[in-house]
Amino acid sequence: MCGLAGFLGGKGFIAEAEPQALLKRMSDSILTRGPDDFGFWYDGEHGVGFAHRRLSILDLSPAGHQPMTSASSRYVIAFNGEIYNHLDIRAELEQSGYWPAWRGHSDTETLLAGFDFWGIQGTVERTIGMFAIAVWDRESRKLFLTRDRIGEKPLYYGWQGSGSKRTFVFGSELKALRQHPAFENRIDRHAISLQLHHSYIPAPYSIYAGISKLTPGCLLSISPQAEEPTIVTYWSAASVAEAGVASPDLGRPDDVIDRLESLLKDAVRRQMLADVPLGAFLSGGIDSSTVVALMQSQSSRPVKTFSIGFYEEGYNEAVHAKAVAAHLGTDHTEFYVSAQQAMDVIPRLPILYDEPFSDSSQIPTFLVSHLAKKEVTVALSGDAGDELFCGYTRYKTGADVWNNVGSLPMPLRKLAAGTLRLISEENWNKAATTFGSLLPRSVRQAHLGEKLHKGAMVLASESFDTLYRGLVSHWRDPAAVVIDGEMPPTLLNGRPPRLAGLDNVQRMMALDLLTYLPDDILVKVDRAAMGVSLETRVPFLDHRVVEFAWHLPQSLKVRDGQTKWALRQVLYRHVPKSLIERPKMGFGVPIDSWLRGPLREWAESLLDEGRLRREGFFRPESIRRKWEEHRSGKRNWQYYLWDVLMFQSWLEKNH
């Protein structure tokens, strides 16, 4: 795992600044992505420069140093990521008659040999891995940028400056781009609206005007003279979903489970390849337990596993993780975090996440990464199991509710929604606490008020897509809060993918795979882990697993009301059901109570009405009303307030 940065053009700046020193400043800003080595390369004739920071995982010798040049000298690369099948690619090259004099055993060198033989796109299409890659082609005099299929590794780019100082800048994180003198530092108000709506800024947008995120599964090319880059898609999650649903695997369930287990074992085995200590995150849930079980089944020694616990009731999964670890025989480390230790992470978030990001599970994600880094350099995680095997509660409940209410007359639905909203979330919660013991255990609900108010939103939805957007969004109309901030078109709003043949549940899963997973979950994990120089790997995102999962009929994902049925069957071959079967628990922290208690002064400072007016990004009326209702306990606006607070905190630290 590494970090990269660079630029193309801008010779007006180069006349004023030493390019090597500039490249070093860009790379130093992302030091934690690669503390083991530093390198740069600059071509003065064409005005292109690469900087690289290395976290050594494979081939720890100098033979893995980057930027690296191909054997033919045609290609120069700066590479962030891991290619899990690079030894297979080497073998294929050799069988094809191309046998370069290998200098080492790094996957970077393998990629370059592939570029020489198959070209850049032909090589990328053969990979199994996670990556962000910058390549300079000396023959065509073009810069190429590419990103892995799902978006595990980040890559930003864009033109900045004008005239002779106009520069195409790119890098793993925005903080590297900010080091370049061409960087204009203009905040995109439309991006603020997106962040308030989603809690993240979806690709291709970024918080800065003129700077984009490269969309997963794409290959970008640009020449020094080009006005705009050319972008082609080499792999499409939407197309994979459509193809899988169109041709479901109708084999016997036992045979399908056998093949799923075999494929997952292979994905895990490949991701266990490392020349440094390796372990795994373990929450005790289905996804992480499956990954750890398959790791342990292929390891001659106990796998190192890590989990954190919380003293607050309703947020602690450590006891479940410990039980799974004991059954599997892993070398398990757990750490119970106090509220103060968790809150101490908050001042670091604006620097870690580099642009406003407000999924509050960023806090425990950083803490477990910090814990793991004490013993390992690589950690496998169970992310993406929900999106691929239909695990989120909203999939079933959203579809069930819509099937029940979608055909009802809209006036009746709006009346019912209004009735539910007459009682505040807090009072619904109090009622559930007071009378919950009188109800059957199967129908008791935590956070009842929030769920009933979400139900009201469902009732008032005009279409299923509107319902889905409501389920995955916070501020419904952020343009009413953000001054001059409109909602630009995204995959969820304005330019949805066709997703032909998918039913409502499958459509939600596909949209999550295209948006929530890469722009929220994977961003959260990448920045938290790289902030402590820890590489994370996600076996479920081996693209062969993604494609296999979409060929599974829905009846093998949800059966008899049980979600992730196929994945559970794999897990039950290694871990007893009794250790797994329990209500799903989110990986979160009690932001709601913290904002009323120990974080109250911090939040009040950032949400001060005079400050909001002076900074000029927000209309303060709605924000202040929500803050006052939250402080008093009248309503729980934790997610809405956290969105604003994370922007305010980012603004304070970065501008």
pLDDT, position 74: 98
User: Is the predicted pLDDT of residue 26 greater than 90, yes or no?
Assistant: yes
Average pLDDT over residues 106-125: 97
* Burial group, residue 138, by CB count within 10 angstroms (0-12, 13-18, 19+): middle
Encoding tokens for residue 270?
A: 């490949």
- CA angle (644 as vertex; 640, 647 as ends), nearest 5: 140
Q: Which strands sit side by side in the sheet containing 230-233, from one edge to the other? A: 68-69, 75-83, 129-137, 142-147, 218-222, 230-233
Report the sign of the C-alpha dihedral through residues 388, 392, 398, 400, in that order.
Answer: positive
Catalytic choice (2, 150, 458, 579): 2
pLDDT, position 101: 85
Q: How confident is the model at residue 444 (pLDDT cuts 50, 70, 90)?
A: low
- Name the segment(s) of the chain with CATH classification 3.60.20.10: 2-235
* Burial group, residue 97, by CB count within 10 angstroms (0-12, 13-18, 19+): exposed
**pLDDT, tens digit, 9 for 90 and up, residues 582-631:** 766 666 788 999 999 999 999 999 999 999 999 999 999 999 999 999 99
- Name the segment(s) of the chain with CATH classification 3.40.50.620: 246-384+538-579
**pLDDT, tens digit, 9 for 90 and up, residues 87-112:** 999 999 999 988 788 988 899 999 99
In SS3 terms, 189-212 reads as HHHHHHHHHHCCCCCCCCCECCCE
Mean pLDDT of the chain: 92
Sort residue 219 into left (φ over 0), alpha (ψ -120 to 50) or beta: beta
Q: Give the Cα separation of 566 and 259 in Å (integer).
A: 11
Tell me whether strands 278-281 and 304-310 are parallel, antiparallel or unpaired. parallel
CATH classification for the domain delimited by 2-235, as one of 3.60.20.10, 1.10.10.10, 3.30.420.40, 3.20.20.70: 3.60.20.10
Average pLDDT over residues 184-209: 97
Q: Is 218 a catalytic residue?
A: no
Encoding tokens for residue 328?
A: 């599997």
- CA angle (576 as vertex; 574, 581 as ends), nearest 5: 120
User: Is the predicted pLDDT of residue 437 greater than 80, yes or no?
Assistant: no
Element (H, E) at 4: strand 2-9
Tell me which amino acid residue 408 is: L
User: Is the predicted pLDDT of residue 312 greater than 80, yes or no?
Assistant: no
User: Is the predicted pLDDT of residue 204 greater than 90, yes or no?
Assistant: yes
pLDDT, position 310: 84
CB 395 within 8 A of CB 563: yes
User: Is the predicted pLDDT of residue 345 greater than 80, yes or no?
Assistant: yes
Query: Phi and psi dihedrals of 183, rounded to 5?
Result: -65, 130
Element (H, E) at 373: helix 362-373
Neighbours of 340 (CB within 10 A): 8
- Residues in contact with 109: Cβ distance below 8 Å, sequence separation at least 6, in sequence order: 63, 64, 68, 102, 103
pLDDT, position 16: 65
**pLDDT, tens digit, 9 for 90 and up, residues 549-559:** 999 999 999 99
CB 324 within 8 A of CB 579: yes
Encoding tokens for residue 576?
A: 């007893």
Q: How confident is the model at residue 453 (pLDDT cuts 50, 70, 90)?
A: confident
Tell me which amino acid residue 493 is: N
pLDDT, position 584: 63
pLDDT, position 175: 97
Helix spans in 188-331 (H):
189-198, 237-246, 253-271, 286-296, 318-328
User: Is the predicted pLDDT of residue 288 greater than 90, yes or no?
Assistant: yes
* Helix axes 286-296 and 565-572, enclosed angle (nearest 10): 40
User: Is the predicted pLDDT of residue 483 greater than 80, yes or no?
Assistant: yes
CATH classification for the domain delimited by 246-384+538-579, as one of 3.40.1350.10, 3.40.50.2300, 3.40.50.620, 3.20.20.70: 3.40.50.620
pLDDT, position 59: 67
